[in-house]
Amino acid sequence: MTVHHPPPPTGDTASRATATGVPPSGDTAAGTPADQAPLAGRTALVTGATGQLGDAVCRLLAARGAAVVGVHRTPSERAEALAAGTGARLLRADLSDPDETAALLGRVRELGPAPDILVCAHGATARRPVLGGAYDAAAEQRLWQLNTGSVQQLASAAAKRMMRAKFGRIVLFGSRGGATGMPGQPGYAAAKAALSGWAASAAWELGPFGVTVNVVAPGAVRARPEDAPVYSAEEDERAAGRTAVRRLAEPAEIAEAVGFLAAPGASYVTGQTLLVDGGARW
């Protein structure tokens, strides 16, 4: 796979925020107005980078000036297209493996500055109803490690580095199902719900150091044409009908929520779970 390496970010990360995490005003270090490239000089680490949501997040953060490092599990043309289209540097890692997760930040540091922004957009669903077959403890543990354990592990390690810089943005991907429940997918719903509790707790510890921690919880999102459908057309139609806007979300719309929470101006928003679900009602 060809990986494109953009020039390293400019500016001193630690100097771009005060001790309380309030961002400075004015132009960026490169002279570009801050409202046009609010993330210039920042490094963003995005997991699940080739998924439909991770890809959209990488593209948005890069467009706003961040140097993006994307993490994906398997080689693909999609990864090559993302690198070519954004200048993102890509790393492969299996985040269901705690050892690979532990080594990831060190690999990122070999490429350049430690991340100022962490977006955990990786995860997996699983249909295992309570009233289905026998409880599969090993399968549920794997699901938990990928959706929750690896996120906590990676965010905890990144937070320590962000504390020293007095700036950091941690954005985790939850799910509307974590708040409302997901019939047929109790293990997945529980794993995503746990992220909200973790974020609210971590926000209290990290707030004095200028580090915010939030969760974006999407509702139903339109699948890309090239992706294998997760839900049937009938299920998608029902989900769209339950929203106030009567349609599914576009990946770019979910990415906009991440972009807001990752920005320096979102310094007073922390410990929150932001539902991006089109006003859905079940």
| Contact status, residue 155 vs residue 171, Cβ threshold 8 Å | no
User: What would the two tokens of residue 117 be?
Assistant: 């922004």
For tokens 């000089």, the residue is: 41
Any catalytic annotation for residue 188?
yes
H or E stretch including 82? Answer: helix 77-86
Give the three-state DSSP class for 140.
helix
- The CA distance from 8 to 36, in Å, is 19
Shortest CA distance to 214 belongs to which of 279, 261, 275, 153? 261
Count, in order, helices (H) and strands (E) of the chain: 9, 7
What are the residues facing 217 on neighbouring strands?
275
Shortest CA distance to 16 belongs to which of 1, 4, 5, 30? 30
Give the three-state DSSP class for 105.
helix
What is the residue-wise DSSP string for 190-246?
HHHHHHHHHHHHHHHHHGGGTEEEEEEEE--BPPPTTSPPSS-HHHHHHHHHTSTTS
Residues marked active site are found at 188
